[in-house]
Amino acid sequence: RGDTPDPAAAGPEAPGVATRGVTDPRTYYYRRFLTDAVRAVDAVRTLPAVDPARVAVLGHSQGGGAALAVAALTPDLRAVVAGVPFLCDIPRAIVLTDAQPYREIRDYLAVHRHAEERVLDTLAYVDGVNFARRCHLPARFSVALMDEIVPPSTVFAAVNACRGPTELSVWRYNGHEAGGIDDDEAAVGFLRVHLWPDRAPDGP
């Protein structure tokens, strides 16, 4: 019937989803979220209008973190675009920023002090830096130096971990919106090169 039970719904958590099932990687919310992202690519590849050999992934913030995971876990993609990706270098992020949703994890650990090792072990399973280490695709990132939600150093950690060729836009005076339409324009150009490498730059 399309119903997907949540096995972690009854466990202790802080308000939000970042700590839902966080003491075990098998029940953690973001494990299921990222699994859905991978399956979404599988579904897209079955559509008649899609060339399954010419697929890339793109996302911003939480979507950027998901894009990195999909890039590491899905074979035969062409490229990945991760704008100010959330879920990167999580142990550092939770002690750097007071903003949600990383604040949710810190609030949880402030109460469940004995669970720190288990929580950090679970978070490592969804950390974008670990996915970046498995990513050999051409990758485009953006980072905003005034971002209070995704600390810039956590994005740099993912960029440095990537195994494929990378591009990076650094927005010195922007927050979590990063480059906005300028990021979008750069992403379109980047994806055009990697999805249609046989076309001339000024082609249709």
The residues annotated with a catalytic role in the active site are 61, 147, 176
Residue type, 189: G
Three-class SS of residue 81? strand
Cβ atoms of 25 and 121 within 8 Å: the answer is: yes
- Name the phi and psi angles at 72, rounded to 5: -80, -30
Maximum distance among all Cα pairs of the chain, rounded to whole angstroms = 59
The secondary structure of residue 65, as a DSSP letter, is: H
Handedness of CA 131, 134, 170, 33 (dihedral sign): negative
In 20-99, which ranges are continuous DSSP H helix?
A: 29-44, 62-73, 90-96
**Number of Cβ atoms within 10 Å of the Cβ of 142:** 27
> Number of C-alpha atoms within 13 angstroms, CB side, residue 15?
1
